[in-house]
Structure 1
């Protein structure tokens, strides 16, 4: 948090505030349920109004006297830390209306508060308030009841610890009354109080850095207390604009061994991230708080985002749409006035898995066992089917259904001949009729696959873990993958488990650049290829890395970056060249002339639309199309590139074609069934039905399979590790697929 305090000299804070019984309804906060976080938006002239947003999509507009004309510096243990225009600080409890005055800060004339921490509830004797100032090595602290702030400077302490200056503390958090911070080169520190009321910085001998979502220099990091343990959360962004999230990683501090352990589950709880304060609470589905969810907001954005740790998806909502301007960044308020929730994890799991979910699973298992059973009744029914009928059935199955068909019982296994995975399905009846929508779960071995035509779902189990590999792009049924760009590039067929090494040479020297996109001309172990990576340097240059079959990595540097900011989607290989779309609708062409790589910017191309949230480039019927999505997904527009006029031409109808867009791969296909044409499929699922989300150019609306109408992307979730497979796939080995 960055708070600027103006130093007007007015009367000290001596205004009469009505007691709770004398307050008007508008001056009282809504009924705050303990241990359920609320999102508080200060807004209006002088921030006199407050809007409270809860997880059932309700919001309450209030004007609480204690919060008028004051800035909220932090929210800890059910208490707000406030400061007024005269630099007087005080604590305020939204539930009990208790107010505890704190000293005036008049030492630093114009200062910024980066972090403001309350170590424990003010009713405890060890409670302290700490202010961390931006742009200096100063920490101010006091206890409730102190008459003045105590100031300390930690610059020399850090120099003694690590031997260098010009570093500061950041990522401050509290756990069990202890204050933690990271500083220097991401070292974890414990801030303690020594003799004579002095702060002591004690290094803990480990770093607070991401472990598995590297290849990015844009992070937001947070400390969170959950069940008495310290957690760290790293949120990685694709670029320095901090808009597109690449992934989120959760770590837990093992205090006995003093190591960070990666967590793939929140153990029945949910996390709430904020620059002013981060907190956690037990999952409560009936209140809209889902297990394994990480809730957060973005800068200058009124939407609430939710990251699901299991499927790595991001959903968003608009809890406070009609905020009066100006409005300040929201803050989490957890109405827990006296107690800190440190109950065992097993108790927190009470509401994490409703009984209905368990019942549904039992019913599903019963149905599966009935179908896959080897009892005499099932065998006798199958024996009555003529073999030509069995053959008629399995010849019309797609690849995965065919494997499932054979594995269901011995009779079908003998009736349907085994298929060799090396056989290509081009032209066969069993090839997939539409592209498949697939994504890895956090365990790195579970691949969820959805057929958008029938909404059929499959679960594939891979023979090894791929959680540490990044999917660069998809081509010809293969996933082109890298391991943080420092262990080469490989191609994976998730159905056959076949892995081919494209290049073993490290490219780690480029790992601290902003990554915008990957693309490959084609992929087959027997064909030549060209692999391209689009990066941006720290000095506002574009760097193109390219790899040609049989050669090492090469690169070119482009100096005209201010005129071209690449989009987050992968370039398209079109007409023997790579076409890269900018966020403003510009096009750059990367082609190879002999041994040289040439970058050409189509300067005459004008921006087709404004207020763009995301954009994609797609080849369709020999044409180059662009898909633009407006802010908050209020609109979707499609354009065709007219090469002769060098202009984008609006496309109102795709005819018989369907577009599939994502950051990893975008392409088009001819609709294989009525009702699939003239649509654009996005890497999103409906939160209510878990069905794929698409935009219809006929209705000009978003829908999900099942005819559900959607208002933009509200009520949907985006999968950050989504893949798309083209309709030419190789058959998988039977042993490589395990269905849950």
Structure 2
């Protein structure tokens, strides 16, 4: 077979841009996935049948026969003459093999191939064409076995850097490659800059090594909610937080991570494509795109069916750069605009032209307009315009007293790049506002957690907690609390109320549930521990109603904490749907879904969605019979969904009734929020790829009391 014919077996995207490849072992077909255009291509490549990919190194694929455990390098041209044999991996499980590191070209006599373990402190290495077997080295970093290699490792300046930890990665183990080959495996430890509930990635880009921390909503669920990047300072082996990755593009996850200059990657600079680390357990959807320029995330590649293990997916970097390929950089600056679609914009433009042609008599004062004509306007105006209306003249000041909190709708609050501006987007009226938060002083690295009554519970560096009122310009410092292990938090009411309580749920281990509470005037947190025999976590923030905090659990159970009695009650309620499923290898696992708990007019609602393309399902708690009942009509309510705070509000606008707004922006711009209609059971926009969500955003309902 000619080389050119072999190359044609791969889709064209493999040669021109980064793509994701999955080999299914015994299955005939191989999949190649395009994260830019959201497409998948299946091919039958005889040379790859029955093979698993263990790594991709420039022009070479490291393959293994799933049946015989034979391993070898094969050139990307698939030419059988360009093949380098390795010792077979008999006796080793592919599932326990982590990242593979290659020191140089497989054709070089100096080449060393190294595997790090996943879930065990083991390293395998060999020299191609020289060794007949793999050398196994046990690295006794944690003799008790509580912590182990996570499977992620990179080679940087003659050393091997390996992520090490248990549930949360705690350290980076550094092993000198020469000492490993000489039989004297010595190591040093570099501590993490901070711990998160999410994904950790090491990636080498140019002459630097980066540690990427991608936080998720809970330990095993959700799209990225925050991303921080640290560059290793080799002089003292410390991590330095950076805001940019130097014009590069990172491709993270799978069996290894890679980096390319944006010009070669064919996409915008300073962005990260990251594979959901948990999709093998049916918990994820595919590849997410993180833009560091505006701290926004979008779903870049949707995996239609679950994959069993992440080690079978590999990033393929282009073998050559197509010089004629134009850059596909996207415009990421948020646009200040009004309206939700093009048709409305055209209508507004025509009306504006008509008004300009009209001659208006402006000789009369605004005060001459009867107040009876002004008052009906309030129900048709957004909050900002209502306040402006009352300030036009003294005679209209009285209308401000008619503005009620019932006419104020939630706004989506998020950061504006790295400035001191916080953005507020009104999805009902399609308008955006800015708040200058210089007075706060510590805006950077601030994370939103929950909001109520115009106040936001936020933290800095996973330790310092604050209650902030961005509209009134007030904040309250709470006692320090290491919430890196917390699963959910909320508060009962505005902290100006003495009976306000901040409520935090911890999962200290699988058998103990800890609750921490704080009220204004207290100098430290009150802590209580409860048995957690089921081992279930709290997938969404609690809500407060009727003097009690309610926490939902995946099995349908409710945890109820009474604020006055300070006791915790477990309400055993059957889950609203089947909570377990069977994966492709026959294991029974718990279905983890996107979950929202909402208080609406004294009732408890739950909203579920397993994957972004699935319908949103709403259940209401029947408090008489204590069962969850599905509803398909919420009347005049409008629901605002967010993983941190979800709100329900009565809305007089007919177009917003029976509607759920999702946090984010449709088509990537501040023109409209994505939504789901219960009437049509459809999303707008229909494709998840058109939705971009700020990683750190939250719904906040302004309180008019804060403006007085």
Smaller-chain TM-score bracket: 0.7 to 0.9
Of 512, 521, 526, which aligns to 2:492?
521
Structure 2 match to 1:535 = 506
The answer to whether 1:67 aligns with 2:48 is yes
Residue 293 of structure 1: how far off its partner (Å):
3.1
Structure 2 match to 1:651 = 631
Matched position secondary structure for 1:148: coil
Matched position secondary structure for 1:260: strand
Matched position secondary structure for 2:253: coil
Q: Distance in 1 between matches of 2:64 and 2:704?
A: 62
Of 469, 476, 481, which aligns to 1:507?
481
Residue 451 of structure 1: how far off its partner (Å):
0.8
Structure 2 match to 1:701 = 682
Note closer, same or farther for the CA distance 1:59–1:192 as it changes in structure 2 (3 Å cut).
same
Residue 437 of structure 1: how far off its partner (Å):
1.0
Residue 79 of structure 1: how far off its partner (Å):
2.1
Q: Distance in 2 between matches of 1:33 and 1:21?
A: 14
The answer to whether 1:628 aligns with 2:597 is no
| Preserved CA contact (<8 Å) 1:174 1:224 | no
Of 89, 103, 111, which aligns to 2:71?
89
Note closer, same or farther for the CA distance 1:559–1:150 as it changes in structure 2 (3 Å cut).
closer
Note closer, same or farther for the CA distance 1:53–1:399 as it changes in structure 2 (3 Å cut).
same
Residue 71 of structure 1: how far off its partner (Å):
1.8
Residue 145 of structure 1: how far off its partner (Å):
3.5
Structure 1 match to 2:649 = 669
Structure 2 match to 1:77 = 58
Q: Distance in 2 between matches of 1:195 and 1:359?
A: 51
Residue 541 of structure 1: how far off its partner (Å):
2.3
- What TM-score, normalized by structure 2, do the two folds share? 0.79
Q: Distance in 1 between matches of 2:56 and 2:233?
A: 26
Structure 2 match to 1:222 = 201
| Preserved CA contact (<8 Å) 1:578 1:591 | yes
Structure 2 match to 1:370 = none
Q: Distance in 2 between matches of 1:529 and 1:360?
A: 38
Matched position secondary structure for 2:604: strand
Residue 319 of structure 1: how far off its partner (Å):
4.6
| Preserved CA contact (<8 Å) 2:216 2:225 | yes
The answer to whether 1:388 aligns with 2:366 is yes
Q: Distance in 2 between matches of 1:427 and 1:390?
A: 20
The answer to whether 1:450 aligns with 2:431 is no
Structure 2 match to 1:640 = 620
| Preserved CA contact (<8 Å) 2:633 2:658 | yes
Matched position secondary structure for 2:654: coil
* Residue pairs, 1:472-511, within 5 angstroms: 472-483=449-460, 486-487=463-464, 489-501=465-477, 503-504=478-479, 506-508=480-482, 511=483
Residue 116 of structure 1: how far off its partner (Å):
1.2
| Preserved CA contact (<8 Å) 1:52 1:61 | yes
* Residue pairs, 1:134-173, within 5 angstroms: 134=118, 137-149=121-133, 151=135, 153=137, 155=139, 171-173=152-154
Q: Distance in 2 between matches of 1:385 and 1:327?
A: 73
| Preserved CA contact (<8 Å) 1:565 1:584 | no
Note closer, same or farther for the CA distance 1:99–1:132 as it changes in structure 2 (3 Å cut).
farther
| Preserved CA contact (<8 Å) 1:192 1:202 | no
Structure 1 match to 2:686 = 710
Note closer, same or farther for the CA distance 1:360–1:177 as it changes in structure 2 (3 Å cut).
farther
Note closer, same or farther for the CA distance 1:127–1:518 as it changes in structure 2 (3 Å cut).
same
Q: Distance in 1 between matches of 2:362 and 2:620?
A: 56
| Preserved CA contact (<8 Å) 2:668 2:692 | no
| Preserved CA contact (<8 Å) 1:425 1:731 | no
Note closer, same or farther for the CA distance 1:142–1:465 as it changes in structure 2 (3 Å cut).
same
The answer to whether 1:248 aligns with 2:227 is yes
| Preserved CA contact (<8 Å) 1:473 1:665 | yes
Residue 198 of structure 1: how far off its partner (Å):
5.5
Residue 512 of structure 1: how far off its partner (Å):
5.5
Matched position secondary structure for 1:86: coil
| Preserved CA contact (<8 Å) 2:255 2:311 | no
The answer to whether 1:582 aligns with 2:573 is no
Residue 476 of structure 1: how far off its partner (Å):
0.7
Of 157, 174, 177, which aligns to 1:189?
174
Note closer, same or farther for the CA distance 1:164–1:309 as it changes in structure 2 (3 Å cut).
same
Note closer, same or farther for the CA distance 1:660–1:329 as it changes in structure 2 (3 Å cut).
same
Structure 1, residues 644-690: CA drift from partner, whole Å, max 9, x if none? Answer: 12222332222111112223222221113231111111223224555
Note closer, same or farther for the CA distance 1:167–1:566 as it changes in structure 2 (3 Å cut).
closer
Matched position secondary structure for 2:177: strand
Residue 50 of structure 1: how far off its partner (Å):
0.8
| Preserved CA contact (<8 Å) 2:221 2:592 | no
| Preserved CA contact (<8 Å) 1:78 1:333 | no
Moved more, 187-196 or 113-122: 187-196
| Preserved CA contact (<8 Å) 1:41 1:327 | no
Of 286, 309, 323, which aligns to 1:303?
286
Moved more, 47-56 or 723-732: 723-732
Residue 582 of structure 1: how far off its partner (Å):
1.8
Matched position secondary structure for 2:63: strand
Structure 2 match to 1:573 = 544
Structure 1 residue runs of 5 or longer lacking an equivalent are 1-17, 342-346, 362-380, 407-411, 704-708, 734-740
Residue 486 of structure 1: how far off its partner (Å):
3.7
Structure 2 match to 1:38 = 19
Q: Distance in 2 between matches of 1:359 and 1:673?
A: 26
Q: Distance in 1 between matches of 2:317 and 2:136?
A: 30
Q: Distance in 1 between matches of 2:545 and 2:361?
A: 53
| Preserved CA contact (<8 Å) 1:181 1:191 | no
Over aligned residues, Cα RMSD in angstroms? 4.4
Q: Distance in 1 between matches of 2:92 and 2:114?
A: 18
Structure 2 residue runs of 5 or longer lacking an equivalent are 337-358, 580-590
Structure 1, residues 610-669: CA drift from partner, whole Å, max 9, x if none? Answer: 566222222223322222224344112222222112222332222111112223222221
The answer to whether 1:128 aligns with 2:112 is yes
The answer to whether 1:725 aligns with 2:697 is no
Matched position secondary structure for 1:631: coil
| Preserved CA contact (<8 Å) 1:313 1:719 | yes
Matched position secondary structure for 1:46: coil
Residue 76 of structure 1: how far off its partner (Å):
2.3
| Preserved CA contact (<8 Å) 1:653 1:697 | yes
Q: Distance in 1 between matches of 2:610 and 2:102?
A: 41
Alignment size in residue pairs: 649
